[in-house]
Structure formats: structure tokens, C-alpha cells
Structure 1
Amino acid sequence: MDLHVLTLAGVVAVAIASGAAARRLGQPAILGELVAGIIVGPALLGLFEPDVALSIIGQLGVVLLMFYIGLHLDLDDMRRASNAGLLSALGGFVVPAAAGFFVMRWFGSDLTEALFVALAMGVTALATKSRILLDLELLTTRIGHVLMAGAVYADVAAVVLFTALLGAAASGSIRLSVVSAVGAEAAAFLAISAAIGIFVIPALSRRLGTDRVSAGTRFTIVMFVALAFGGAAEFAGLHAILGTFFAGLFFGAGGLPHHARQELQKAAHSISIGFLAPVFFVVAG
């Protein structure tokens, strides 16, 4: 058996055990997986020399996790939570970012270093937040919709700000042309995704929801579309998880029959949360 297969088996075992231990203590499973990754990960991964394949497996897991999260949420509830989500994003980003900036400046860091730390402290990982809400059974509540909407705002803004900081670090000044280009690409992705979600996916969902399409074929086609959304998000300078999240939202609201949607949710849950996503969080820890 190849070493990378042994590594995967070891990581899966650690993920299962640590997640179960966290749940027994009344904590979300993701906490156990991350802590296990911090404590056990270096020894386990160092012993078996992890390769690129393990990282790809983990990345695929978190991408499919975000598709499942989107499929699980209600698009109308997300729209209604958008204004409160914006306030949540501002509060959740500005306060820690400002604290990080002033602390770094207090200790003598230059402006660019302080801004990098501020951005790192202000950003909340979309995948981590959604997994915590899911583990705590808060994802489909009002607070879950508000926090998820805020996380989307923060994720897009973080990409634009990070690009501006990279340009400033390289050239010594912030280039508005670069920032504008990144912002335009992100806006174009969001607009095109919304158009596809409104006009294309409902028609596709109705076709896929018929009895002539098997569950396996339906899942394969939906996964192709979700990964295409993820690839488009990366092409626009965003993260793939944002694209697959939107794909899940649109398919969830796009007219799939209840039984077809339930089948998709079960399949995505089994593959992502049941197997691949815990690998990502252990490796990330």
C-alpha cells in the first residue's frame, strides 16, 4: 500500500475520532478536527510524507461542503438577511482588523505589515464558519442566514483588499487600477452567476427532476455545474468555495422536486461531511 494511502487512512481515522470526541464534550466536530490537526497532524503527516494528492482531497472536500451548505440554505431567507449580513460583516471585520492594525503599529511595524495583519485578523473563513453553524444546528436559523450572508460579503471584500495590499507591498503604493480590475472581475462573476442562477438553473433543474434522469446522472450533472461555478470563481480571483456555495443556493431554489433535492443533499453530505471535509480540517489544523 502506498504511503499516501496510509496517510489518508490515518487522517480519516483521526478526523472520525476527534470529531466524535468533540461532540461528546458538547462541542462542534470541527473543533476536534482542527485541534487534532494541530496536535497529531505534524507527527502523522511527517511520518508518511503527505503529497499533493492529500491536499487535493481536502480541497475537494471543502468545495463540496460549501455546495452542500448552499443547497441546505433557503435563497429567499439569504436575501432577507443581506442587510443584516452586511452589518455583521462590518462588525466582524472592522473591530478585529482595527485592533490588529493598532497593536502592530504600537509595536513598531510599518504600515504595510500592520495592514496585512489587520486583514488576516478581520477575515473569517467562510467554510469554517458554515461548518460550525452546521455542527451547532444553527445553519438554517435567522442568525445562521445573517452570519452566512456576512461571510460572503467579507470573503469578496477580503480578496479585493488583499490584492490591493499585495500591489502596495510590491510597488510601494496602492494601484487603483489593479483594485478596480479585481473588483470588476468579482462583480462580473457575481452578476453572471446570478443571471445563470435565475434563468438557466431553474430550467435545468426541471429537466433533471424528471423520472427519466437517474439519481446518479442527476448528481453527476449537478456536480459538474457546481465545479464549473467554482472554477469561474477562481478565474475571477475569488475562492472556488464561493462558486460552489452559490451553485448550491441556486439548485436549492431552482425548481428541483423535493425528492431529487433530498437525494442531492444526502449524497453531498455523505461525500463531503462524511468523508472529505474532515480530512481538510485535520490537514488545515
Structure 2
Amino acid sequence: MLILQLAIILAAAKVAGSLSVRLGQPSVLGKLLIGIVLGPSVFGLVNETETLAELSQIGAILLMFIAGLETDIERFKQTGKAATFVGLGGMIMPMVFGYLAGVLLNLTTLQSWFLGLLLSATSVSISVQALKELNQLKSRAGAAILGAAVIDDVAVILALAFLMSMAGEDVHFTAIILKKIAFFAAAILAGWKTVPWFLRKFSSLQVTETVISSALIICLVYAYFAEYAGVAAIIGAYMAGLAISTTNFKHEVFEKVETISYSIFVPVFFASIGVSAQFSGIAQNLGLIVLLSVIAILTKFIGAAAGAKLSGFNRKSSLGIGSAMVSRGEVALILSAIGIESKLLSQDMFACIVVVILVTTVVTPPLMKWFFREAASGE
């Protein structure tokens, strides 16, 4: 059954992506929407399974790995201030307004802060594809967005650890911080010394496709240890791409990993987001979903855009950066699952949040198309 479902997903995703481009939108929007059509919410041709979820995760990892390979290291270094302002601006504003929404909904103080934290999460794996299609991935704005995603991810996880300790969970805040510091230090050191050495040694083996195999090994190891350290796997994959981008193997790895990724794993990732959408029982909570969706979109957009403007970007580029930070994606879904387990989210609120995450994910590509086109026309 999985084989047939993969065939359906690949065919539908490519056709829907092409149709989306013809309508003037990024192809990723069509791939997201076709997932909803294929999934249980509409036709039920494709069901959410553990295997499909694993393939989807590989797609997200490879997408961020490619983003790392395409990142200009020098430009990335130059956008440190912008990335910090964008990341923190796009986190603080959603957290505050999310907390206020929780108070308005008569949630407890801890539940309200958790809702704010949930809305402050960012996942730019969707934005990366839109940036590629808009030729903005290698730009100064693209570098700032990717850097901000790393900062946002780390800040949200640390804030979560602090909140869970306040909730009485067995969380050692200092240990969590040290674990993340150790990961980033090891990742940077390995990228400087170990990655080039491993690529040279492994690629000399007398078998076929050793360069791409060695690169994928590095990517998956980075992703695994990132997740083990409490950092999102996609951040580890992005750092692996950055490490390889400084070597002479960059172009060969990029060409081959892009072929592998976009032929199967990335389309599955985009479509599976729509497949996993659950719309049952949302009618009675429609008002709440609309309220949280508006808060989620506007606060992230305005907060990140304000951070970009304060760091020196012009108004139109700042709006483009703000739009790219709107998508919550898998990071917010992971936090939602933690909220259910720790009783910081009710089942009804969890169902609403899942729909809100989907809304933010679907609106991000067209928002980026609009604002980056405006920025380009203003140059």
C-alpha cells in the first residue's frame, strides 16, 4: 500500500506544484494543499502512517541540508546582528500576545505562557523552498532568515526547559543549556576539522557514489545528534550543509543531493503536512482557531519584520523577512505533543493548535511571494 501511496503523492505533488506556479504562487503551496486533498480530510487516498512520517522527516532534513550547502558563509557571518534581532523579535512578540490570549481564554498562568511559547516557535523548512524559488536563498535576507531560525529554535527550547521546570517536571535547566552548547561547539569543530577529512577519506573508497554517500552520512549524523541535544534535527542538517559548503566537494554534493531530495523525499515532506491535517470537530472551535491564527501570523510577521528593520534592512526587505518567519511547521507540532503529555494543553486546544500550525504553513509561501516581489521592485 505504501508503494502506491508514494506514487500518488509524487504524481499529485508535481502536478499541483506546477499548477501553483502557473497561478503565480510558489510550487510549495500547491504541494501543501494537494496533501490535504489526498489525505483523510478529503479523498482519503493517502493515510498518515509512521513510515510516511519518517520519509517526511528525511525530506525536511534534506531540504535544510541543501539550504546549508547553498548558504554563503561570509554573508552568513555578516548577518549575525540581523539574525539575532529577527529571531528574538519574532519570538518575543508572539510569546507575549499568546500569553495574553491564554489569559483571555481563562487558562492558568503556566498554560498561558506555554501557549505563548508555542506560538513563538518557527520552522523555516517551508520558507527555504519558497526562498529558492524566489532566488532569495543566497541573499542577505535569506542568510538572516536562516540564522534567525537557528536562534529561534535554541531560544524556544531553552524557554521550554525553564517553563517545564516551573511546571514541576523533572528538568535540569543547566544541563539542558550545557547539552546545547556542547552540540554547537562539537558541530563547529567537526565542521572545521572532521568533515573535510571524512569526505576525503570516504570518497577515496573503490565503490560508486562515495562522495554523496559520505555527505549524507554527515548530514544524518549531525541531524541525529542535534535532536539528541534537544535541538531540532533540521538545524543539525543545516549545520552539516554549512560545513560541507566550505569544502571542494560542495558542488558535486549539491547537485546529487538535490536530485535525490526533490525526486522523492521533499515532495513527500510537503504533501504529508497536508495529509496529517485533521479538520474533524473544528466547527465548534472555529472562532478560537481564527483568533489564534490571526495572533500567530501577525505577531510573528510584525515581530520579525521589526527586528529586521532595527538591524538595518529597508522596509520592503524587512516585510519579506517577517513573512518568511510565519510558518510554525514541525517545531510547533513537537511542542504541542509535549504540551499534551505535560497537561499544559487540553485535547481541544491541541486540535485547534494543529489547524493553526497548518494555516501558518499554508499562508507563508504566498506572503513571501508578495513581499519579496515588492522588495525586488523597490530595488
Q: TM-score, normalised by structure 1?
A: 0.87
Q: Which digits, 9 at most, give the CA deviation of each residue in 1:17-50, with x for residues without a partner?
A: 2211221122222222222223432257844544
| Alignment counterpart, residue 215 of structure 2, candidates 213, 222, 225 | 222
What's the counterpart of residue 180 of structure 1?
174
Offset, 1:187:
0.9
Q: Indicate if the aligned counterparts of 1:75 and 1:250 stay in contact, CA closer than 8 A.
A: no
Cα gap change, 1:50/1:104 in structure 2, threshold over 3 Å: closer, same or farther?
A: closer
Offset, 1:100:
1.6
Q: Which digits, 9 at most, give the CA deviation of each residue in 1:215-274, with x for residues without a partner?
A: 711111111111111111111112211111101101101x31xxx422211111112233
State how 1:1-285 maps to structure 2 within 5 Å.
3-43=1-41, 46-169=44-167, 171=168, 178-206=172-200, 216-253=209-246, 255-256=247-248, 260-285=249-274
Is 45-54 or 270-279 further displaced after alignment?
Answer: 45-54
Offset, 1:61:
1.2
Offset, 1:72:
0.9
Q: Which digits, 9 at most, give the CA deviation of each residue in 1:60-119, with x for residues without a partner?
A: 111111111101111221111111100011111112222222122123221122122212
Q: Write the distance in 1 (CA, Å) between the matches of 2:43 and 2:221.
A: 31
Is 96-105 or 196-205 further displaced after alignment?
Answer: 196-205
- Percent of matched pairs sharing the same residue: 28
Letter in 2 for 1:71: L
Q: Higher relative CO (CA 8 A, sep ≥ 6), structure 1 or 2? A: 1
Offset, 1:8:
1.4
Is 62-71 or 29-38 further displaced after alignment?
Answer: 29-38
Please give the secondary structure, in 2, of the residue aligned with 1:42.
Answer: coil
Letter in 2 for 1:117: L
CA RMSD of aligned residues (A): 2.3
Cα gap change, 1:221/1:95 in structure 2, threshold over 3 Å: closer, same or farther?
A: same
Letter in 2 for 1:70: G
Cα gap change, 1:152/1:244 in structure 2, threshold over 3 Å: closer, same or farther?
A: same
Q: Indicate if the aligned counterparts of 1:61 and 1:271 stay in contact, CA closer than 8 A.
A: no
Letter in 1 for 2:5: T
Letter in 1 for 2:231: L
Q: Indicate if the aligned counterparts of 2:183 and 2:226 stay in contact, CA closer than 8 A.
A: yes
Letter in 1 for 2:188: A
Q: Write the distance in 2 (CA, Å) between the matches of 1:75 and 1:45.
A: 45
Letter in 1 for 2:191: G
Offset, 1:132:
2.3
Q: TM-score, normalised by structure 2?
A: 0.67
Offset, 1:195:
0.8
Q: Write the distance in 1 (CA, Å) between the matches of 2:251 and 2:26.
A: 24
Q: Write the distance in 2 (CA, Å) between the matches of 1:20 and 1:37.
A: 15
Q: Write the distance in 2 (CA, Å) between the matches of 1:75 and 1:35.
A: 34
Q: Write the distance in 1 (CA, Å) between the matches of 2:109 and 2:223.
A: 34
Q: Indicate if the aligned counterparts of 2:59 and 2:268 stay in contact, CA closer than 8 A.
A: yes
- Segments of 5+ residues of structure 1 without an aligned counterpart are none
Q: Indicate if the aligned counterparts of 1:10 and 1:44 stay in contact, CA closer than 8 A.
A: no
Letter in 2 for 1:38: I
Cα gap change, 1:229/1:14 in structure 2, threshold over 3 Å: closer, same or farther?
A: same
Q: Indicate if the aligned counterparts of 2:40 and 2:47 stay in contact, CA closer than 8 A.
A: no
Cα gap change, 1:100/1:250 in structure 2, threshold over 3 Å: closer, same or farther?
A: same
- Segments of 5+ residues of structure 2 without an aligned counterpart are 275-379
Letter in 1 for 2:22: R
What's the counterpart of residue 298 of structure 2?
none
